[in-house]
């Protein structure tokens, strides 16, 4: 029941170009799956279908035994942490610290524990110097690191990362790798879109290539 099951889904873009036709895939929790393929092959579209941001024209997606179309985006976000390809699309608060703490405090989490957790993530992702800055004024790499940190604040059961190493130097990729290893040890599954061969080789349990709406392993 702790899997993501994609069963015979179809989806076409608004101009009629079909990207998936009776497409099926199972993603196991606790397993790190990498999704590769050329630009435009549907990698990001697949992640948005899983998250319920867009809906398949037919077929069914189940998230840990629950139909995806029965879950609100808020409920989905508590199960799956999703980091967009373009991180500025998920940063809304007035400061880096607020970005990390406000959602949990709003939901009634303990303030002291929330701020301590945020401080730990600021250190891990090298964001301490910009903790009071507006997210919109950060560099692209800082925005990406903040987006990843904000998702990890919630402690999701599963994680989807779209090109997480983009604009990160080797030192910061290593820091991200340490976090992913810790999450793997906690049995948190991950679906990661990446073209970074070294990063893939370090973390992969499974590699799927998407081409023509089909998977190749």
**Where along the chain do its domains lie?**
3-216
Please provide the size of the chain in residues: 217
pTM for this predicted structure: 0.89
Query: What's the pLDDT score for residue 208?
Result: 94
Q: What is the pLDDT along the chain (217 residues), one digit of tens a residue?
A: 689 999 999 998 777 778 899 999 999 999 999 999 988 889 999 999 999 999 999 999 999 999 998 998 888 888 999 998 888 888 989 999 999 999 899 889 999 999 999 999 999 899 999 999 999 999 988 998 999 899 889 888 999 999 999 888 998 899 889 889 988 998 989 999 999 999 999 999 999 999 888 888 7
Domain topology for 3-216: Rossmann fold (3.40.50)
Token readout for 86 is 């373009």
Q: How many Å apart are CA 138 and CA 102, to the nearest integer?
A: 19
Query: What's the pLDDT score for residue 89?
Result: 83
Token readout for 133 is 């800055």
Query: What's the pLDDT score for residue 15?
Result: 72
On the CB side of 216, how many CA atoms lie within 13 Å of its CA? 9
Q: How many angstroms from the chain centroid is the CA of residue 91?
A: 14
For the chain, the C-alpha Rg in angstroms (whole number) is 17
**Token pair 């790798």 in the structure block, residue:** 177
Query: What's the pLDDT score for residue 195?
Result: 92
Q: How many Å apart are CA 87 and CA 164, to the nearest integer?
A: 10
Query: In degrees to the nearest 10, what's the CA dihedral of 81, 83, 87, 89?
Result: -60
What string of DSSP letters covers 163-185? STTTT--HHHHHHHHHHHHHHHH
């Amino acid at each position: 029941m702790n899997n993501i099951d994609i069963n015979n889904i179809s989806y076409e873009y608004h101009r009629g170009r079909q990207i998936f036709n009776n497409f099926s895939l199972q993603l196991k929790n606790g397993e790190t799956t990498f999704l590769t393929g050329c630009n435009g092959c549907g990698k990001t579209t697949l992640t948005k279908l899983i998250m319920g941001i867009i809906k398949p024209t037919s077929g069914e997606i189940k998230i840990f035994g629950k139909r995806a179309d029965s879950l609100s985006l808020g409920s989905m976000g508590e199960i799956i942490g999703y980091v967009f390809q373009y991180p500025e699309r998920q940063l809304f608060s007035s400061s880096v610290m607020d970005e990390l703490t406000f959602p949990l405090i709003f939901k009634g989490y303990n303030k002291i524990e929330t701020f301590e957790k945020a401080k730990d993530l600021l250190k891990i992702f090298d964001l301490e110097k910009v903790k009071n800055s507006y997210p919109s004024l950060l560099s692209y790499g800082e925005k990406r690191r903040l987006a990843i940190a904000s998702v990890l604040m919630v402690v999701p059961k599963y994680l989807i990362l779209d090109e997480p190493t983009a604009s990160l130097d080797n030192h910061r990729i290593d820091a991200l790798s340490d976090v992913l290893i810790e999450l793997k040890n906690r049995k948190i599954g991950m679906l990661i879109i990446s073209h970074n061969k070294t990063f893939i080789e370090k973390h992969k349990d499974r590699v799927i290539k998407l081409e023509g709406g089909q998977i190749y392993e």
